[in-house]
Amino acid sequence: MAQVTKHEDEDTTVTNVGDGPESVAGPSGEDLEPQPSRGGAGGGKRPPTTKREDSGGSGNRPSTKKDDAGDGFFTIYKRGQGYWTRMGTALAAGLLIALTVWFFYQQLPVWLTPAFTPANATTAQAVAARATARNATLGICAAMLIGFGALAWRLMNKPGNADFLIATDGEMKKVNWTSRRELIGSTKVVIIFMFLIAFILFAIDIIFGYFFQLIRVLDTGPFG
């Protein structure tokens, strides 16, 4: 036995509630009107449309590293970003370059003077050789200073290295620094515990010194 449910749009729903043969009453295929295609009168699918990007004009165009880096050698990549990390790196690089140049300034005259001094040289020739070595040292050190400075500038202004410094500066700004009051309080605690531990160790050292003197391990005590 089947229960037939008839809807307004002439569709028929059959629910089987028994084991016997079922007969379904409903509209035949000839009575049904053909449904028009959703794709339009022609029945075909609409062609896919593509969105054209405006390649000209003043539209928004994503910036690239090449655009940010600029064209000139002295152009700063992403100017104004990562100021403190860049300044710290520049100061460290400048200090390293200065120490290196100073080392060669001190050592090059010692290495170059024998090369400019002829065999069996007179006093005047020896003085002239030292002056020539000093001038050569100044030229070499100046060239090293300019070369190392240009190399440091290029490395710090390279897009990959500059982005790393900028990201480092951004992460440092997220650090929760302690206040002045907390810093002073923590410093006081460290100093007090330092003197306390020093006093305890001093007392233990004196006690063991007299103990070892008492058992004849040491001939004299801690104070003689």
78 and 169 assigned to the same domain: yes
Query: Residue 75: its pLDDT value, please?
Result: 86
Q: Is pLDDT larger for residue 26 or for residue 71?
A: 71
Residues 6+ apart with CB under 8 A from 167: 82
Residue 156 lies in a domain: yes
Q: Flag whether pLDDT at 40 surpasses 60.
A: no
Residue 125 lies in a domain: yes
Tell me the pLDDT of the chain averaged across its residues: 78
Contact by Cβ (8 Å): 137, 145: no
Q: Which domain covers residue 94, as residue numbers?
A: 71-173
Percent of the chain with pLDDT over 90: 44
| Total domain count, the chain | 2
119 and 210 assigned to the same domain: no
> Whole-structure pTM over 0.85, yes or no?
no
Residue 16 lies in a domain: no
Percent of the chain with pLDDT over 70: 68
89 and 165 assigned to the same domain: yes
224 and 145 assigned to the same domain: no
**DSSP summary character for residue 24:** -
78 and 101 assigned to the same domain: yes
150 and 196 assigned to the same domain: no
Q: Flag whether pLDDT at 107 surpasses 60.
A: yes
Question: What is the C-alpha to C-alpha distance for residues 197 and 191, in angstroms, rounded to an integer?
Answer: 10
Q: Flag whether pLDDT at 105 surpasses 80.
A: yes
Report residue 49's pLDDT band, with 50, 70 and 90 as the boundaries: low
135 and 85 assigned to the same domain: yes
96 and 168 assigned to the same domain: yes
**pLDDT average, residue stretch 30-45:** 50
Query: Residue 27: its pLDDT value, please?
Result: 52
Query: Residue 177: its pLDDT value, please?
Result: 83
Residue 23 lies in a domain: no
Q: Shortest CA distance to 78 belongs to which of 17, 13, 165?
A: 165
Residue 205 lies in a domain: yes
